[in-house]
């Protein structure tokens, strides 16, 4: 935890508890996790890039006027990843940053279309992420799994390519567990992606589209109805529809809540206006996630601190949040039980005088 990320309104001992708490991260983007250290390493390989490497300048560069501006900046970082070695470096170093925060398990959202369309060979791309996944598990003990997402604004060509890469047994990577849909929502209706989600689901993948981040609750309904979503990425605008809140609670569809992201992209005006409390009150399974942490000046530990303040949680409440993420993950049952036990043991030890 860097001092920059210590919310002074959360007691120091709660920050310390969070820092050591074993956690699972269910909504974090591969390229969006490139820290200043990783950006600098990639920019050294590709000095023609327009992405600044100085941490101060990078913080300015990562200040967004709206969601569209965020996507423009995001794509400039995508342009830094040009070779399979870049992909491996990014993936392994992201795992290192997660492990430092005691993340035991992470589902990393990867957009293979953005890399293959920029000329990276698909087989070499899959080998790079898989090699990094195995090396990270061996070195840090952090288990990584992949969600391949369609960058919806790039059109149905990107959906076709993503579905092919996710379902063709000759290319799909062993660590792939889910299928998603990201990018802007405005002007990108969810129902058109149904055939691609049908194919991914038929191939055994879980459905985890973004929905209701920058558009209204009708997009969340569309994600549930047409894309058979098992979890919703963000789902922020669900708070505007009581029937939807009840549906999410009754059908135990978890929300992947990313509080700081919603402020950084200006989807929500201020952190105190974030609807996370309404989700919890409605009985929805809330999971806490970081989305694109360095781009939003946050990390997963800070997101737990934000949630502790907004939901008025103590150590046990935070441990329950961490266990929500483990239970909502696509890890196998023995793996889930192992991390849940670790959370319980850590919490009991912490609370023992
Ligand atoms: O790669 C391209 O060439 C390309 C062309 C047109 C459009 C796109 C995209 O829309 C890429 C969007 C990209 O953003 C990722 N992402 C990261 N954080 C978020 C988020 O909070 N909400 C939605 N999307 C997000 C997503 O994974 C896409 O890869 C690309
Ligand atoms: Zn996201």
pLDDT tens-place string over residues 2-61: 456 777 788 899 999 999 999 999 999 999 999 999 999 999 999 999 899 998 999 999
pLDDT digits (tens, 9 = 90+) for 282-321: 999 999 999 999 999 999 999 999 999 999 999 999 999 9
Query: What is the bridge-based pairing of β-strands 176-182 and 143-151?
Result: parallel
Q: Which CATH code of 1.10.3720.10, 3.40.50.1100, 3.20.20.140, 3.40.50.11540 fits the domain covering 11-351?
A: 3.20.20.140
pLDDT at 207 over 80: yes
Closest protein CA for atom 2 of ligand 1: 114
Is-catalytic flag, 213? yes
> Could you tell me the distance, in angstroms and rounded to a whole number, from the CA of residue 145 to the centre of ligand 2?
15
Distance CA 71, CA 178 (A): 22
Give the residue extent of every domain in the chain.
11-351
Mutate-to-test residue for ligand 1 from 111, 118, 262, highest number of ligand atoms within 8 A of CB: 111
Query: Taking CB atoms and a 6 Å cutoff, what residues make up the pocket around ligand 1?
Result: 29, 32, 71, 74-75, 78, 109, 111, 114, 117, 149, 151, 153-154, 182-183, 210, 213, 261, 291-292
pLDDT tier, 1 (very low <50, low <70, confident <90, very high otherwise): very low
Residues 212-229 have a mean pLDDT of 98
- What mean pLDDT value characterizes the chain? 96
- The per-residue pLDDT for 28 is 98
Tell me whether 0.90 is exceeded by the ipTM: yes
Distance CA 325, CA 290 (A): 12
pLDDT tier, 261 (very low <50, low <70, confident <90, very high otherwise): very high
CA distance to 30, 33, 298, 300, per residue, from 292 (Å): 8, 5, 8, 10
Residue owning tokens 């009985």: 283
């Amino acid at each position: 935890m860097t001092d920059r990320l210590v919310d002074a309104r959360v007691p120091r001992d709660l920050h310390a508890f969070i820092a050591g708490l074993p956690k699972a991260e269910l909504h974090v983007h591969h390229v969006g996790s490139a820290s200043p250290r990783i950006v600098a390493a990639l920019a050294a390989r590709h000095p023609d890039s327009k992405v600044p490497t100085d941490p101060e300048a990078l913080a300015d560069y990562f200040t967004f006027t709206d969601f569209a501006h965020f996507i423009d900046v995001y794509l400039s970082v995508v342009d830094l990843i040009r070779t399979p070695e870049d992909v491996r470096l990014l993936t392994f170093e992201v795992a290192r940053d997660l492990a430092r925060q005691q993340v035991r398990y992470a589902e990393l959202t990867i957009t293979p279309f953005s890399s293959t369309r920029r000329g990276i060979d698909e087989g070499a791309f899959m080998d790079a992420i898989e090699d990094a996944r195995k090396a990270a598990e061996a070195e840090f003990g952090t288990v990584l799994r992949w969600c391949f997402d369609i960058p919806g604004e790039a059109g149905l060509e990107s959906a076709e390519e993503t579905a092919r890469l996710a379902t063709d047994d000759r290319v799909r990577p062993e660590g792939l567990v889910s299928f998603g849909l990201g990018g802007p929502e405005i002007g990108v209706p969810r129902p058109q992606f149904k055939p691609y989600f049908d194919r991914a689901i038929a191939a055994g993948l879980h459905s985890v589209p973004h929905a209701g981040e920058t558009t209204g609750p009708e997009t969340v309904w569309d994600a549930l109805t047409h894309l058979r979503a098992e979890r919703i990425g963000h789902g922020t605008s669900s708070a505007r529809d009581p029937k939807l809140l009840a549906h999410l609670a009754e059908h135990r569809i978890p929300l992947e809540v990313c509080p700081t992201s919603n402020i950084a992209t200006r989807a929500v005006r201020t952190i105190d206006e974030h609807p996370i409390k309404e989700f919890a009150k409605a009985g929805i399974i809330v999971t806490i996630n970081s989305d694109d942490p360095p781009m939003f000046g946050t990390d997963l530990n800070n997101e737990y601190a934000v949630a502790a303040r907004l939901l008025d949680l103590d150590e046990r409440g935070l441990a329950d949040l961490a266990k929500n993420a483990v239970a909502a993950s696509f890890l196998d049952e023995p793996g889930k039980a192992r991390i849940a036990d670790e959370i319980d043991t850590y919490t009991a030890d912490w609370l023992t005088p």
